Amino acid sequence: MYRPQHLVVDGLVCRDVNLDRVGYYIDTLIDLIGMHELGVPQLYAIPEGWIGMQVIAESHVSVHIKPDYQYYGDVFSCMEFDSEVVVAFMVDYWRLDKVEYHTINRSQLVVR
């Protein structure tokens, strides 16, 4: 039986950011957790920072990095994944500092 999970991660990025790096991050993360992309990632460089969003068959992966390098990332999936592995990947990839994260186990409603 699966358990829907929502991982939210905050931190401070300690490396250069660009859209290519954001796109590669999203693709690699989805491969790491064994999920399935639907369409192409949405990538934006705007005055408020860099944004990457990918809809996956199991839900979504997103990241927002502000101009001051504050990092906000999340993975929501109706399928289980290893949050510790994902956080370790995020920390390594972005060289995150001052990391805080929470894994929320979402409810499973029984339809009658």
Q: State what percent of residues in the chain have pLDDT above 90.
A: 86
pLDDT at position 31: 96
The domain total for the chain is: 1
The CATH number for 34's domain is 3.60.90.10
Give the Cα separation of 37 and 91 in Å (integer).
22
For residue 34, tell me if it sits in a domain.
yes
Q: Could you report the per-residue pLDDT of 92-111, keeping only the tens digit for each?
A: 999 999 999 999 987 765 55
For residue 25, tell me if it sits in a domain.
yes
Residue 57: C-alpha distances to residues 47, 54, 75, 100 (Å): 30, 10, 12, 27
What are the two backbone dihedrals, phi and then psi, of residue 2, each rounded to the nearest 5 degrees? Answer: -90, 160
For residue 55, tell me if it sits in a domain.
yes
Domain housing 93: 5-105
pTM > 0.75: yes or no = yes
Check pLDDT > 60 for residue 81: yes
Beta bridge partners of residue 70, listed in sequence order: 12
